[in-house]
Amino acid sequence: MQRPEVKGFEQRWNDYRDRAIPIDAAPVQRLETEKAFFAGALSMYEFITCDLVLDRTTGEPTDGDVARMESLGSELLARLASFLSGEGRDA
């Protein structure tokens, strides 16, 4: 089975920017959104590279790693739902 092409952070940013930022957005909005996007990407990268504890014999994620990733996924999906419902926006 062939793996799908992995997009780099820059390509993911370009995809996100094109979908999420209005064409007439102010330059400062574009810059601040880009900073936030890459801060989130860095945070996730650090989590994956620094915080996971792979099983030393198999190199596979431990049960604790899997549970933590599932917890993070649930947290992100809940936050997404709150944004989509309008509850997650600042007043």
Rounded CA separation 67/81 (Å):
21
The tokens describing 32, both together, are 């601040």
Domain ranges, residue 79: 52-91
Q: How far is CA 66 from the centre of its chain?
A: 17
User: Considering the domain boundaries, does residue 28 fall inside one?
Assistant: no
The tokens describing 8, both together, are 């780099």
Answer whether 0.75 is exceeded by the pTM: no
- Phi, psi angle pair for 56, to nearest 5°: -70, -20
User: Considering the domain boundaries, does residue 64 fall inside one?
Assistant: yes
Sign of CA dihedral 84, 86, 87, 91: positive
User: Considering the domain boundaries, does residue 17 fall inside one?
Assistant: no
User: Considering the domain boundaries, does residue 75 fall inside one?
Assistant: yes
How many domains would you assign to the chain?
1
User: Considering the domain boundaries, does residue 42 fall inside one?
Assistant: no
User: Considering the domain boundaries, does residue 30 fall inside one?
Assistant: no
User: Considering the domain boundaries, does residue 32 fall inside one?
Assistant: no
Tens-digit pLDDT string for the chain (91 aa): 666 666 788 898 999 999 999 999 999 999 999 999 999 988 888 887 787 777 888 888 888 888 888 888 888 888 878 878 877 655 4
User: Considering the domain boundaries, does residue 45 fall inside one?
Assistant: no
